[in-house]
Amino acid sequence: MMSSSHLLELHNISKSYGALTALSDLNFHVGHSEVVGLLGDNGAGKSTTVNLISGIQKPTTGHLTIDGEKTMFTCRSDSADAGIETIYQNTALVDSLSITRNIFMGRERVNAFGFLKQTEMREIAMEVLEKAVHISGIDSPDKLVGDLSGGQKQAVAIARAVFFKRRVLLLDEPTSALSVRETEALLAQVLKLKAENVSSVLVTHNLYHAYQVCDRFVIMSHGTKVFDVKKADTTISQLTEYVVLT
């Protein structure tokens, strides 16, 4: 296995909060154009892993590699620069701002004095929503995000990732508040992005959703990896067994 060619790789990552060990010696990788399901029960360390990859938290020991190059994210914008976008269930959007302002939040298009190029941002938002993300009901980029449904919010978050040319999407429990139809649309979106060479890490409780789209599964328990298997080599009942029993 040519490990240096992996898009994203975690090497011997440990993370402790005082006496509590959240992660111990975690290793796994994400390949190019690959959808990885990161599974595990509550408290397995999935959220901590997401936070580490997106740079919100720092590992106690261990490091990441991007394209085989050793790196260490110290803040969110580091991981954004490396092409990683995290899509959270509830926390990544501001309800009281418009779709356009959410898409460009923290990465505003501005002139030399820091003033917003509103027309330009609005046009881009409109285009991204129309072309890249096909979730119905969003007719204007000026709509407040607070007025959108759960699926539409996810769509806005994904639109943000698509526009900023991300290489890896981290989806943290993306389906837990979505309707059945919205879930289908979201999973289809993940596959579409894969075809466009964007990898995804799907963090979820729901094995069925994961099984639908993932190429490979990483199962975590008590802060470390207990199982790593390609979809072709496993069944949903075997995955369930690992999540429940380890």
Partner 1 sequence: MTDSAVPKSRIRKQSLLKQIMTMPAGAILLVFVTLQIACIVGALAYPDDFRYLSPQNLTILMKAIPVLGCLALGAGILMIAGEFDLSIGSVYTFTAILMATLVNADVSAFIAAPLGILTGVLIGLLNGTITLRFGLPSFIVTLGGLLFWRGAVLLYNGAVQVRFDPEPIFTSLFAGTFLGVNAAFIWIILFVVGFYLLLHRHKFGNHVFATGGNRPAATAIGINTDRVKLVAFAIAGGMAAVAGIIATARVGSVQPGQGAGLELQAIAACVIGGLSLSGGRGSIIGIFLGVMLIHTITDVLLLLRAPGFYLDMFIATLIVVAAAFNHLIERRGAA
Tell me which residues touch partner 1 (CB under 8 A): 54, 56, 75-77, 80, 86, 88, 91-97, 101, 104-108, 110, 114-116, 118, 144, 146-147
Cβ 170 to partner 1, closest distance in Å? 11
Cβ 82 to partner 1, closest distance in Å? 12
Concatenating the DSSP letter of every residue in 124-161 gives HHHHHHHHT---TT---TTSBGGGS-HHHHHHHHHHHH
Residue 230, classified by CB atoms within 10 Å of its CB into exposed (0-12), middle (13-18) or buried (19+), is exposed
Amino acid at site 12: N
CB 126 within 8 A of CB 141: yes
Please say which residue, 89 or 224, places its beta carbon nearer to partner 1: 89
Cβ 90 to partner 1, closest distance in Å? 8
Please say which residue, 77 or 179, places its beta carbon nearer to partner 1: 77
Please say which residue, 18 or 106, places its beta carbon nearer to partner 1: 106
Cβ 149 to partner 1, closest distance in Å? 11
Please say which residue, 104 or 217, places its beta carbon nearer to partner 1: 104
Q: Which two tokens stand for residue 24?
A: 């111990």
Please say which residue, 54 or 183, places its beta carbon nearer to partner 1: 54
Cβ 12 to partner 1, closest distance in Å? 26
CB 191 within 8 A of CB 33: no
Q: Which two tokens stand for residue 25?
A: 């010696």
Helix axes 150-163, 180-195, angle to 10 degrees: 10
